Amino acid sequence: RETSPYYLGKMDLWYGFACHGIDFLQPRGLLCFIAQNNWTTSFGAKLMRKKVVLDTRFHELVDFNEYMVFGEDNPDGPQIQTMIMMFERDNSNGQYKFDHWRLSAEAAKVDMRAMLSHEEGPAVHHITPTIDRVRNSKGLLTFSGDTLIFDKISKGKLYLTENEATNGIHPHHDFVSKKMLAECPGLKVGQGIFGLSNEEKEGLKLSAKELTLVKPYYTSDQVKLYYTKARNDLWIIYTGSEFKDSRKINAYPKIKAHLDAVKKVITSDNRPYGLHRARAEHFFNGEKIVVLRKCVGRPSFSYSDFPCYVSATFYVIQTDRWDLKFLTGVLNSRLIAYWLKHRGKMQGENYQLDKDPLKSIPLPELPRSAQKPIAELVGQILAAKKADPDADTSALESEIDKLVYRLYDLTPEEIAVVESSSK
């Protein structure tokens, strides 16, 4: 309930049960849950993380990762990623170690049973990370046995600020979905709402003034690792919160007629004619880095220097503190992927690059002249991808990795740890 001191918007209800459960414990009492494993990095679990770090001692975490314990043998069972967690009511030590067990993404039932028996193996990983009550109560909980590497990576570095990254546009609905047909049977799946296909845009026969509200709209079909294809297939009607005043749309009669035709399914806070969240428009123009929020295998940062409007499937980075080609190279490096895997936000083996993980990335402080070698390599990748989007640029990417390792002063042994993890 909102009156609870542990309530936070967008939280899962069990976070509150866990916090109140800790309050009910006697000193040295134990609390054990089998629940979703994303509480360690979820925004909604921020208060729970603080509670368990400050008021309990971790006994053990047993993370099943992507192995669906309750749905593996039952397709109709819950397909959720779970963890066993045990905490003791105790806040006596500032630092301590605990047992953390985790399955790899390829684990099978035999590996799960081995982990439950505390048997290490190729798919069963056991570490004894350190909890620091002061440090760990303030952020995400990520566990790795390579603490010294992370300390070195983060030492003396800069970070993106609140004003240098934004989520993409929230139209609420850009195109008609199948679910909407029950409410408006006259519509068609894929029909444009705030989004438009090339055919729909041309069919509206918009005036020059109306065209100023229609922006090039990009998806993952164009936004790739390193490179964004310049040619868009879709468009977005870019109307801000001022269009909540329905009189504003009268100067754009053909756009008004289009939105009136789908008015019943517009659920934006700024309805009937405004996007739910338009975002600061400068982020979509000029030089920028577009980041896919949910990445499989490795993080994906894409450079563009032309108008490129994207949905909330992406984040956008814009800053003048670094050369953005240089920053694209650093962010796409194996070292930053390693950092995000262990210090960012993960959903199983998939990266989730929301604003907090992006702001947590330690970035080197360098004069522009020292950024040039990596920026030039990224320029070569962009040129190769522009000529052929499927061009193999792995050799150039490896050169960038080597330069990034030097920027962070990693030893050959530390580089081997990072390289091994990426494989």
Q: Inter-axis angle of helices 13-24 and 46-55, to 10 degrees? A: 20
* CA 374 remoteness from chain centre: 24
| Residue 326: per-residue pLDDT | 98
412 Cβ neighbours under 8 A, 6+ residues apart: none
Task: With H, G, I as helix, E, B as strand and everything else as coil, classify residue 28.
Answer: coil
Task: With H, G, I as helix, E, B as strand and everything else as coil, classify residue 347.
Answer: strand
How do residues 3-31 score in pLDDT, each as one tens digit?
Answer: 788 888 778 889 998 999 999 999 999 99
Tokens 């080597």 label which residue? 402
How do residues 370-394 score in pLDDT, each as one tens digit?
Answer: 999 999 999 999 999 999 999 999 9
| Residue 146: per-residue pLDDT | 66
Report the alpha-carbon distance of residue 15 to residue 128 in Å, rounded.
24
CA angle, 235 as apex, 233 and 238 as ends, to 5°? 160
How do residues 237-278 score in pLDDT, each as one tens digit?
Answer: 999 999 999 999 999 999 999 999 998 899 999 998 999 999
| Residue 287: per-residue pLDDT | 97
Q: How much is the pTM?
A: 0.79
Task: Please tell me whether the peptide bond between 272 and the residue prior to it is cis, using omega within 30 degrees of 0.
Answer: yes
DSSP string, 133-185: HHHHTTS-----S-HHHHHHHHTT-B---GGGEEE-BB-S-SB--GGGGGT-T
Report the alpha-carbon distance of residue 410 to residue 188 in Å, rounded.
55
Q: Please return the burial class of 212, using the count of CB atoms within 10 Å of its CB with bins 0-12, 13-18 and 19+.
A: exposed
Handedness of CA 245, 248, 249, 253 (dihedral sign): positive
CA distances from 193 to 153, 221, 272 (A): 45, 20, 11
